[in-house]
Amino acid sequence: MPLPIEEIKKLIKDTIPDASIEIKDLMGDNNHYAATIKSSQFNNISKIEQHKLVYKSLKGKMGNELHALSITTEGK
């Protein structure tokens, strides 16, 4: 079962409360998304660490309910 955009946003916000999140459904199939996430938690950490923080927030759903998610992260 695909993961709705609002559920993805909630999972990320639970871990990164100050995140501003934009998610686009790339294929119109509720399965392939691109997300832009901005947070002060990303300041002064590498892109790899930023992405790890986002993946951790998804609580194992990446690759299961969430098939594909392209991530762009930025500090605030």
Residue 18 sits in a domain whose CATH number is 3.30.300.90
Give the mean model confidence (pLDDT) for residues 22-43.
Answer: 94
In the predicted structure, residue 42 carries a pLDDT above the cut 90: yes
Tally of domains within the chain? 1
**Mean residue pLDDT across the chain:** 93
Q: Is the pLDDT of residue 2 over 90?
A: no
Instruction: Note the pLDDT of residue 30.
Output: 83
CB 48 within 8 A of CB 36: no
Q: What angle do CA 2, 22, 20 make, to 5 degrees?
A: 120
Which CA distances in Å does 55 have to 28, 58, 61, 73? 22, 5, 9, 12
Residue 25's nearest CA partner among 38, 39, 47, 8 is: 8
> Range of 22's domain?
5-75
